[in-house]
């Protein structure tokens, strides 16, 4: 028996599904059977679960888009200007939603279908419009059902294994970090040595959320406990922050005799060691060997009172963080034990809820909305005053291409022209040389199977290229029950499609280049502008930050600062590194991970500065804080102007920040020594120490970014590309 590769199996599934949808649609006498083919093209992915989800979402999005098209045409059947205005508002909303994080595919289909209903129905007639909407919905559901059945029964592929593997890898990384920090707490190793693990943790954290969505559709077992899995993902995010905050207190406690201060510290670490190990075993499918035991860290009060106030504050923060680790790891153990069926927990896991972002406005999404509307109206004016090939279909197709560019960032001009041109050429060869000689659906099905097998097999490694090539092939091959052949019609279709594509690609350059390296630099500038503004808000002299407008702006910038690293990571994956041979994908992703860490440290500092005791710090330590801010601000402002410019060696950055930080530490210790003068309370000491930890973490993150950026060859990133 011949062993088939995964590529061959997937190609067979797509080709078979395409033959079936054409056969059913043509047997039912439905017009435009390629609409069902479009569904197969867009939902075929390696994971069966993802295909099922995409099939359902495509059907629902088509239904919503068809209803919207009927409503808009029903409101303005004879006034195309008002119709275009109403359509623009609808597309603006859908475009803003599809460029977000949730349900992008649904909103794309809602906009895409509405454009088709209105474009194909021009001039509109109520009966034909309704029939078109029903036909579009029928064929979309047909394509989704057929491909889902084929994918479910013929070599099904599950993403559950990928998700479980990603969870195990993330937990292994966090376990290694825990052990490294435990050694670091006792004076072994350096924080610098843990940086690769921290960067790896951030990257793995972003992956498991994506895989969980697929695994929920692939497996009933995952779906049944999906809420627990999402709780575990949230807990892992919380654990990442808890480990970092624990590490920030090590400098002051390393010289202390921790065994005397914390008599049961070793017992706590033994318990934590066992929990981390057993959680790893449960993630691998092995039952736990023993239950967890809650343990409270005790403090020797006599030993504690012998310390300085500064050291007492460090111990208080350390005790809090260790108690947090104990609580969080116990909660994670219970959560995984519940998921695997080893124990049932009646109560929800004890985990801090993630803070909600109350105000988040993404300027990139508004930029995408503007590009889609500009494309649509330019195409509309061309249709009204020039009447290009395609006639009323020209603005429809241009709008669809604009939506594709907005939703798929890697859909640059060269990829779109190459893939749509390739599909058009392939369709032209079969349309002219093969199809006129076919008789009956049997021969036609052989051609359909062979054509889609070849496209799926050759383009299996590039989903975007595969989807665009197959889409253009479906449009131009134009298979129907009443088959006619016209080379003039084929040539007119080629011209219509390529002109609308050219218009959409041209408007994508407004107001700046869409090439990923250019977008990367633009996002870097925005990131550092936000960082400059936020740090100015926590500087000793911050009179310019007063007022409601400034507070709202600060909240917007803080939310955007946390979002930008994810966008930079996506851009980094799209960069063609053959054009930048001196840089590597790993180098750019490490840079992004440093920016992610820097954003978290800025967030910590902003939160710590909002505490009432922060005013005491600004009063007592104004000069030292100002000195530290001057070093950071000068470098961030220069990077905001041009993130690629060379500022100074990272060793100089390290020495300057270390010098300013040492002054700040000495001043804080002096403030702690003035207990008689200031009558500070215990919470005042803890907050002062937390604030110091925030400055330390931010200094370390800035140094880390400088070291990575120093190794990037930015010379060619500014060169124009067309």
For residue 659, the number of C-alpha atoms closer than 13 Å in the C-beta half-sphere is 10
- Tokens for 506? 């041209």
Whole-angstrom distance, CA of residue 233 vs CA of residue 75: 46
The pLDDT of residue 348: 44
The pLDDT of residue 45: 63
- Tokens for 605? 């500092």
Q: 3-state class of 433 per DSSP?
A: helix
pTM comes to 0.77
- Which residues lie below 8 Å from residue 182, measured CB to CB, with a gap of 6+? 269
The pLDDT of residue 6: 82
Whole-angstrom distance, CA of residue 273 vs CA of residue 178: 9
Class of residue 305 by CB neighbours under 10 A (exposed 0-12, middle 13-18, buried 19+): exposed
The pLDDT of residue 164: 86
Helix 516-536 with 585-609: angle, nearest 10 deg: 20
**Closest alpha carbon to 37 in 500, 479, 493:** 479
Mean pLDDT by 10 residues, the chain (722 residues): 77 92 89 85 67 74 88 83 91 90 83 84 61 82 86 77 86 91 81 73 76 71 83 88 77 79 88 91 88 84 75 77 89 90 55 50 87 94 89 89 84 84 92 88 92 91 86 87 81 90 89 82 91 85 64 83 84 78 79 82 79 66 77 84 74 72 71 55 66 75 81 71 52
The pLDDT of residue 2: 62
Whole-angstrom distance, CA of residue 58 vs CA of residue 60: 5
Residues in the chain: 722
- Tokens for 475? 């449009």
Helix 463-477 with 413-429: angle, nearest 10 deg: 40
Distances (CA, A) of 581 to 14, 334, 574, 590, 713: 36, 48, 15, 17, 9
Q: 3-state class of 51 per DSSP?
A: helix
Distances (CA, A) of 162 to 169, 421, 428, 551, 596: 11, 35, 40, 43, 25
Q: Where do the H-state alpha helices sit in 99-219?
A: 104-120, 126-153, 160-185, 195-218
The pLDDT of residue 648: 64
Distances (CA, A) of 140 to 25, 133, 145, 292, 685: 11, 11, 9, 52, 64
């Amino acid at each position: 028996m011949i062993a088939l590769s995964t590529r061959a199996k997937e190609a067979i599934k797509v080709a078979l599904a395409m033959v079936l949808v054409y056969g059913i649609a043509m047997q039912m006498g439905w017009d435009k059977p390629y609409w069902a083919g479009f569904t197969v093209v867009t939902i075929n992915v390696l994971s069966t679960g993802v295909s099922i989800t995409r099939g359902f979402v495509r059907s629902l999005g088509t239904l919503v888009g068809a209803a919207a098209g009927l409503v808009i045409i029903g409101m303005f059947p004879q006034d195309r200007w008002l119709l275009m205005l109403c359509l623009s508002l609808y597309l603006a909303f859908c475009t803003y939603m599809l460029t977000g994080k949730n349900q992008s595919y649904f909103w794309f289909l809602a906009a895409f279908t509405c454009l088709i209903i209105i474009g194909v129905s021009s001039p509109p007639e109520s009966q034909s419009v309704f029939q078109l909407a029903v036909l579009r919905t029928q064929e979309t559901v047909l394509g989704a059902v057929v491909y889902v059945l084929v994918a479910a029964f013929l070599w099904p592929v599950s993403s559950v294994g990928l998700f479980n593997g990603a969870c195990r890898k993330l937990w292994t990384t966090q376990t290694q970090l825990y052990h490294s920090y435990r050694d670091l707490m006792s004076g072994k190793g350096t924080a610098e040595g843990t940086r690769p693990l921290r960067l790896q943790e951030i990257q793995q954290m972003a992956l498991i959320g994506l895989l969980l969505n697929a695994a929920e559709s692939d497996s009933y077992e995952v779906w049944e406990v999906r809420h627990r899995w999402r709780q575990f993902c949230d807990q892992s995010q919380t654990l990442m922050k808890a480990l970092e905050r624990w590490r920030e207190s090590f400098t002051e406690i390393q010289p202390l005799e921790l065994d005397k201060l914390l008599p049961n510290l070793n017992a706590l670490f033994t318990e934590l060691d066992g929990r981390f190990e057993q959680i790893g075993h449960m993630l691998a499918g092995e039952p736990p060997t023993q239950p967890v035991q809650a343990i409270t860290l005790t403090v020797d009060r006599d030993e504690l009172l012998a310390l300085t106030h500064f050291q007492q504050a460090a111990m208080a923060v350390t005790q809090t963080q260790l108690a947090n680790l104990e609580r969080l790891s116990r909660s994670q153990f219970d959560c995984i034990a519940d998921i695997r069926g080893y124990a049932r927990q009646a109560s929800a896991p004890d985990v801090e809820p993630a803070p909600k972002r109350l105000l988040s406005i993404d300027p990139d999404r508004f930029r995408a909305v503007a590009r889609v509307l500009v494309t649509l109206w330019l195409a509309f004016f061309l249709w009204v005053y020039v009447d290009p090939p395609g006639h009323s279909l020209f603005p429809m197709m241009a709008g669809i291409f604009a939506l594709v560019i907005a939703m798929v960032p890697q859909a640059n001009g060269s990829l779109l022209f190459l893939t749509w041109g390739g599909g058009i050429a392939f369709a032209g060869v079969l349309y002219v040389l093969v199809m006129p000689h076919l008789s009956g659906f049997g021969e036609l099905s052989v051609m359909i199977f062979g054509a889609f097998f070849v496209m799926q097999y050759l383009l299996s490694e590039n989903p975007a290229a595969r989807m665009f090539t197959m889409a253009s092939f479906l449009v131009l091959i134009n298979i129907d029950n009443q088959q006619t052949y016209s080379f003039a019609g084929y040539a007119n279709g080629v011209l219509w499609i390529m002109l609308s594509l050219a218009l959409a690609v041209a408007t994508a350059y407004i107001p700046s280049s869409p090439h990923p390296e250019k977008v990367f630099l633009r996002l870097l500038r925005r990131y550092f502008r936000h960082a400059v503004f936020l740090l100015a808000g926590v500087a000793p002299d911050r009179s310019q930050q007063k007022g409601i407008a400034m507070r709202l702006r600060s909240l917007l910038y803080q939310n955007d600062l946390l979002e930008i690293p994810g966008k930079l990571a996506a851009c980094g994956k799209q960069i063609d590194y053959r054009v930048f041979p001196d840089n590597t994908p790993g180098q750019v992703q490490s840079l992004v991970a440093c920016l992610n860490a820097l954003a978290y440290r800025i967030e910590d500092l902003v939160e710590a500065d909002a505490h009432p005791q922060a005013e005491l710090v600004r009063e007592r330590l104004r000069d030292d804080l100002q000195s530290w801010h001057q070093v950071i601000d000068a470098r961030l402002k220069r990077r905001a102007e041009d993130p690629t410019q060379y500022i100074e060696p990272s060793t100089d950055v390290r020495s300057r920040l270390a010098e300013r930080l040492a002054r700040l530490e000495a001043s804080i210790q002096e403030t702690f020594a003035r207990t008689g003068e200031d009558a500070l309370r215990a919470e005042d000491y803890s907050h002062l120490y937390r604030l110091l930890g925030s400055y330390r973490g931010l200094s370390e993150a800035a140094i880390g970014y400088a070291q990575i950026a120093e190794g990037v060859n930015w010379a060619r990133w500014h060169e124009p590309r067309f």
